[in-house]
């Protein structure tokens, strides 16, 4: 223990940080293998597809990045928690409800952990989930069309960080509060933290047919900071694991005050026991207010519903639901190996990587090998659950992924490296530097039962000199390594958007086979759709003007509208009549205090414009859709308020 204490001293940390900083003088970090060899391994010839999709969290952009591997090419940025004027997500009437919350409309969040849906512990290519950290939410993106299909707010939570990790068959997606808060919220002194603040582990039931999410129960926990999670698999199928730090329950200067103890805890949650306790009436319904937003897959119109209650299960009322595993020191990541037996923690301030054994944990529970309890939650003895420790792994272990060949790969933030070690004897096998300060790392399927252990991607926190400089604000950075041989080999640097905390990857074929190319115009159920040019028109209801418009190469119908008045709310409902792949049309009008629209084939999208000036204002298609794209335009005449100019449009009847 004493060595751990001295490690925590400022001198040691100072030295470690100095080493990391030295690495930062960059340049000349010549790859150890031939550049030609590396280039060949990442070269995807023009017109060819990448082998894997890589989904990266957008971090403080709130979005989800989609990349190809091994090329590192950016394929798309999917809007999830943040407005995206490029395609009007969060601006168009149909999508605005997706960003509704109990705090009102929120145009941004901080997203950390993409998590693919799984069947039998293997990604199934159906959905990807991602957490909203700041205003606690979980989103589900449908991988048929790469559209954000659902966002569920998590009530009574604060800092939804240990989220949205799923269980083996996507029975649940979890959401643990990083910041303990008064639960339910209350006006209390911050100094009453120990008495009034609680942690909360939320289990969201995912409907296996539709993917729809619903909060099943929320487990009330001691007021620690719950940081990360992974669910069990195989023998540990019925369990989810959550790291916690700040078992000191400090409420100020956590840097120091939450780093006092040698060990914090992993909370092992037996979720089938929680289900039973709920059934047995040991939980209680409590009032709550949280938004549940769904994009209807047929109408493509989102709705937001405010939910009013949730189910609280106090861990102390449900014996056997939670056990604490002491874990050094201020652990961050918790990762379960492909067999489901080994539970690896990344103790940010630990000198070793502790590896717990699931079977030993079960035995320790049966033997009641407890060293104490916290609020009625038994604390197991470290010696009773530990399978071993990886010695001298490096500094600042954070996250671990697996290659399916018996090896683990742990990211080392402080010493800025990936360390490969053996799951058999916990010896270090290889290490490579990362540029710089790696956070998460990602192997395709690397947290599942069957990893595709060909590559590891380092998701780095600091970019510094790796690319042409772009002023004080730099892009974020990922690095691709080949792990097919005994030694890791750096192949490629590629920039990413936002801060790429975590990423997940899977073979591209699992997604491409089910991809949608257009939305079916015949089933378009948007209430304002015009399915043909004959169905277009204009109408007025008080101050609201509704324009039902169509777009097809290369014209809008109608393209001339008169009788709009200053201060009207003009709703442009535009239906794209195309049924070919990759023929969107755009729409923008001079001075619109909103975004453009980008309308996919078969879809209807609506944008609101409130003209403030008299005049004749052009609108145009923003997406170069044909040789006569420049001709794809129209005019709206705006008259003074109360004008007698009749509302007209040159719809087919009027041509």
Q: Which residues bind ligand CUA (CB under 6 A)?
A: 551, 554, 585, 621, 623-625, 629, 632
Query: What, of ligand CUA, ligand K7E, none, does residue 632 touch, CB below 5 to 8 Å by kind?
Result: ligand CUA
> How far apart (Å, rounded) are the C-alpha atoms in residues 308 and 80?
24
Instruction: Please say whether the beta carbons of 264 and 248 come within 8 A.
Output: no
- What residues from 262 to 321 belong to the interface with ligand K7E (CB under 6 A)? none
**22 CB neighbour count, 10 Å cutoff:** 8
Closest CB to ligand K7E among residues 222, 396: 396
> How far apart (Å, rounded) are the C-alpha atoms in residues 521 and 227?
45
Closest CB to ligand CUA among residues 352, 625: 625
Q: Which residue in the set 356, 501, 548, 555 belongs to the binding site for ligand K7E (CB under 6 A)?
A: 501
Place of tokens 């549940």: 292
Per CB under 6 A, 332 contacts ligand K7E: yes
Query: What, of ligand K7E, ligand CUA, none, does residue 501 touch, CB below 5 to 8 Å by kind?
Result: ligand K7E
Closest CB to ligand K7E among residues 440, 464: 440
Spatial neighbors of 253 by CB under 8 A, at least 6 apart, are none
Name the residue among 597, 552, 551 with its Cα closest to residue 570: 597
C-beta of 113: minimal distance to ligand K7E in Å? 6
How many CA atoms within 13 Å lie on the side-chain side of 227? 21
With 0-12 / 13-18 / 19 or more C-beta atoms within 10 angstroms meaning exposed / middle / buried, residue 195 is: exposed
C-beta of 58: minimal distance to ligand K7E in Å? 12
C-beta of 114: minimal distance to ligand K7E in Å? 10
SS3 for 193? helix
Query: What, of ligand K7E, ligand CUA, none, does residue 178 touch, CB below 5 to 8 Å by kind?
Result: none
Closest CB to ligand CUA among residues 231, 576: 576
Spatial neighbors of 190 by CB under 8 A, at least 6 apart, are 251, 252
Per CB under 6 A, 230 contacts ligand K7E: no
Closest CB to ligand CUA among residues 434, 550: 550
Closest CB to ligand CUA among residues 506, 632: 632
Closest CB to ligand CUA among residues 339, 554: 554
User: Pairing mode, if any, of strands 213-221 and 263-270?
Assistant: unpaired
Which segments of 296-352 are extended strands (E)?
302-314, 322-328, 331-336, 342-347
Helices (H) and strands (E) in the chain, counts: 9, 46
Query: What, of ligand CUA, ligand K7E, none, does residue 443 touch, CB below 5 to 8 Å by kind?
Result: none
Element (H, E) at 491: strand 489-496
Closest CB to ligand K7E among residues 490, 503: 503
Closest CB to ligand CUA among residues 256, 628: 628
Query: What, of ligand K7E, ligand CUA, none, does residue 440 touch, CB below 5 to 8 Å by kind?
Result: ligand K7E
C-beta of 487: minimal distance to ligand K7E in Å? 25
Which residues share a beta bridge with 39? none
- The first and second tokens of residue 420, run together, are 């490969």
C-beta of 344: minimal distance to ligand K7E in Å? 14
- The first and second tokens of residue 97, run together, are 């409800």
Per CB under 6 A, 113 contacts ligand K7E: yes
Q: DSSP string of 610-624?
A: ---S-EEEEEE--S-
Closest CB to ligand K7E among residues 258, 592: 258
Closest CB to ligand CUA among residues 331, 584: 584
Q: Which residue in the set 165, 241, 481, 502 belongs to the binding site for ligand K7E (CB under 6 A)?
A: 502
> How far apart (Å, rounded) are the C-alpha atoms in residues 75 and 85?
18
- Which residue has the CB atom at the shortest distance from ligand K7E? 439
Query: What, of ligand CUA, ligand K7E, none, does residue 629 touch, CB below 5 to 8 Å by kind?
Result: ligand CUA
User: Pairing mode, if any, of strands 104-105 and 115-119?
Assistant: unpaired
Phi then psi dihedrals of residue 533, to 5 deg: -65, -30
- The first and second tokens of residue 418, run together, are 């990936």
C-beta of 28: minimal distance to ligand K7E in Å? 27
558 DSSP 8-state letter: S
> How far apart (Å, rounded) are the C-alpha atoms in residues 356 and 400?
13
For ligand K7E, what does the binding mask look like between residues 27 and 66, x meaning CB under 6 A? ----------------------------------------
> How far apart (Å, rounded) are the C-alpha atoms in residues 520 and 111?
31
Closest CB to ligand K7E among residues 411, 606: 411
C-beta of 617: minimal distance to ligand CUA in Å? 18
User: Pairing mode, if any, of strands 597-599 and 585-589?
Assistant: antiparallel
C-beta of 585: minimal distance to ligand CUA in Å? 4
**235 CB neighbour count, 10 Å cutoff:** 13
Per CB under 6 A, 439 contacts ligand K7E: yes
Q: Which residue in the set 267, 387, 398, 432 belongs to the binding site for ligand K7E (CB under 6 A)?
A: 398
Per CB under 6 A, 132 contacts ligand K7E: no
> How far apart (Å, rounded) are the C-alpha atoms in residues 115 and 238?
18
> How far apart (Å, rounded) are the C-alpha atoms in residues 159 and 197?
14
Largest CA distance in the chain: 87
- What residues from 150 to 209 belong to the interface with ligand K7E (CB under 6 A)? 161
User: Pairing mode, if any, of strands 122-132 and 137-142?
Assistant: antiparallel
Query: What, of ligand K7E, ligand CUA, none, does residue 394 touch, CB below 5 to 8 Å by kind?
Result: none
Name the residue among 277, 288, 362, 264 with its Cα closest to residue 314: 277
Query: What, of ligand CUA, ligand K7E, none, does residue 161 touch, CB below 5 to 8 Å by kind?
Result: ligand K7E
Closest CB to ligand K7E among residues 230, 270: 230
**260 CB neighbour count, 10 Å cutoff:** 13
Query: What, of ligand K7E, ligand CUA, none, does residue 585 touch, CB below 5 to 8 Å by kind?
Result: ligand CUA
> How far apart (Å, rounded) are the C-alpha atoms in residues 600 and 519?
7
C-beta of 501: minimal distance to ligand K7E in Å? 3
For ligand K7E, what does the binding mask look like between residues 347 and 386, x meaning CB under 6 A? ----------------------------------------
- What residues from 467 to 496 belong to the interface with ligand K7E (CB under 6 A)? none
Q: Which residue in the set 440, 555, 573, 585 belongs to the binding site for ligand K7E (CB under 6 A)?
A: 440
How many positions of this chain bind ligand K7E (CB under 6 A)? 11
Query: What, of ligand K7E, ligand CUA, none, does residue 623 touch, CB below 5 to 8 Å by kind?
Result: ligand CUA
Q: Which residue in the set 96, 112, 420, 605 belongs to the binding site for ligand K7E (CB under 6 A)?
A: 112
- What residues from 505 to 564 belong to the interface with ligand K7E (CB under 6 A)? none
SS3 for 81? coil
Which residues share a beta bridge with 490? 481
Contact set with ligand K7E (CB under 6 A): 112-113, 161, 228, 332, 398-399, 439-440, 501-502
């Amino acid at each position: 223990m004493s060595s751990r204490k001295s490690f925590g001293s400022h001198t040691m940390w100072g030295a470690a940080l100095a080493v990391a900083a030295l690495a930062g003088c960059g340049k000349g970090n010549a790859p150890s293998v031939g550049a030609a060899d590396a280039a060949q391994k990442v070269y995807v010839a023009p017109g060819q597809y990448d082998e894997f999709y890589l989904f990266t969290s957008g971090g403080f952009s709130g979005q989800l990045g989609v990349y190809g591997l091994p090329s590192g090419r950016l394929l798309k940025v999917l809007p999830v928690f943040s407005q995206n004027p490029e395609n009007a997500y969060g601006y168009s009437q149909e999508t605005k409800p997706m960003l509704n919350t109990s705090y009102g409309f929120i145009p941004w969040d901080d997203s950390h952990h993409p998590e693919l849906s799984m069947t039998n512990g293997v990604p199934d290519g159906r959905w990807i989930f991602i957490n909203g950290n700041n205003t606690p939410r979980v989103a589900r993106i449908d991988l048929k069309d790469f559209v954000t299909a659902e966002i569920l707010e998590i009530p009574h939570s604060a800092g939804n960080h240990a989220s949205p990790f799923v269980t083996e068959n996507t029975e649940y997606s979890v959401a643990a509060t990083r910041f303990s808060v008064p639960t339910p919220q209350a006006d209390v002194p911050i100094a009453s933290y120990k008495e009034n603040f609680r942690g909360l582990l939320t289990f969201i039931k995912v409907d296996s047919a539709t993917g729809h999410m619903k909060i099943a129960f929320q487990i009330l926990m001691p007021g620690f900071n719950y940081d990360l999670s992974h669910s069990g698999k195989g023998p540990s199928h019925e369990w989810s694991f959550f790291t916690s730090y700040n078992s000191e329950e400090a409420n100020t200067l956590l840097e120091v005050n939450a780093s006092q103890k040698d060990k914090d805890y992993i909370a092992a949650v037996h979720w089938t026991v929680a289900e039973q306790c709920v059934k047995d009436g040991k939980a209680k319904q409590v009032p709550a207010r949280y938004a549940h937003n769904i994009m209807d897959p047929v109408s493509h119109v989102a709705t937001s519903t405010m939910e009013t209650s949730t189910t609280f299960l106090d861990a102390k009322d449900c014996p056997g639901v939670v056990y604490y595993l002491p874990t050094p020191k201020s652990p961050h990541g918790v990762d379960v190996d492909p067999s489901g037996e080994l539970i690896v923690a990344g103790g940010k301030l630990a000198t070793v990587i502790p590896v717990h054994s699931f079977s030993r944990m079960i035995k320790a529970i049966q033997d009641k090998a407890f060293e104490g309890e916290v609020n009625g939650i038994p604390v197991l003895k470290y010696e009773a659950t530990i399978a071993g420790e990886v010695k001298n792994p490096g500094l600042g272990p954070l996250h671990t992924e697996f290659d399916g060949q018996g090896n683990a790969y742990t990211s080392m933030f402080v010493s800025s490296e990936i360390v490969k070690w053996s799951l058999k004897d916990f010896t270090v096998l290889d290490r490579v530097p990362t540029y710089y300060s790696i956070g998460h790392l990602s192997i395709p399927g690397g947290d599942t039962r069957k990893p595709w252990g060909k590559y590891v991607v380092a998701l780095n926190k600091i970019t510094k000199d790796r690319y042409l400089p772009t002023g004080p604000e730099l892009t974020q950075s990922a690095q691709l390594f080949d792990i097919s041989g005994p030694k890791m080999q750096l192949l490629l640097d590629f920039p990413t958007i936002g801060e790429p905390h975590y990423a997940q990857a899977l073979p591209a074929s699992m997604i491409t086979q089910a991809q949608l190319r257009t939305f079916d115009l015949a089933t378009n159920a948007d209430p304002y759709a015009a399915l043909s040019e004959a169905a277009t028109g204009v109408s007025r209801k008080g101050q609201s003007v509704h324009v039902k418009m169509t777009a097809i190469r290369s014209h809008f119908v109608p393209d001339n509208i008169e009788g709009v008045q200053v201060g009207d709310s003009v709703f442009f409902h535009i239906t794209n009549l195309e049924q070919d792949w990759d023929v969107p049309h755009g729409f923008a009008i001079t001075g619109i205090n909103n975004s453009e629209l980008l309308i996919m084939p078969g879809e209807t999208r609506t944008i609101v414009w409130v003209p403030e000036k008299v005049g004749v204002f052009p609108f145009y298609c923003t997406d170069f859709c044909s040789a006569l794209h420049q001709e794809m335009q129209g005019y709206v005449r705006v008259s003074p308020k109360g004008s007698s100019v009749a509302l007209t449009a040159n719809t087919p009847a009027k041509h």
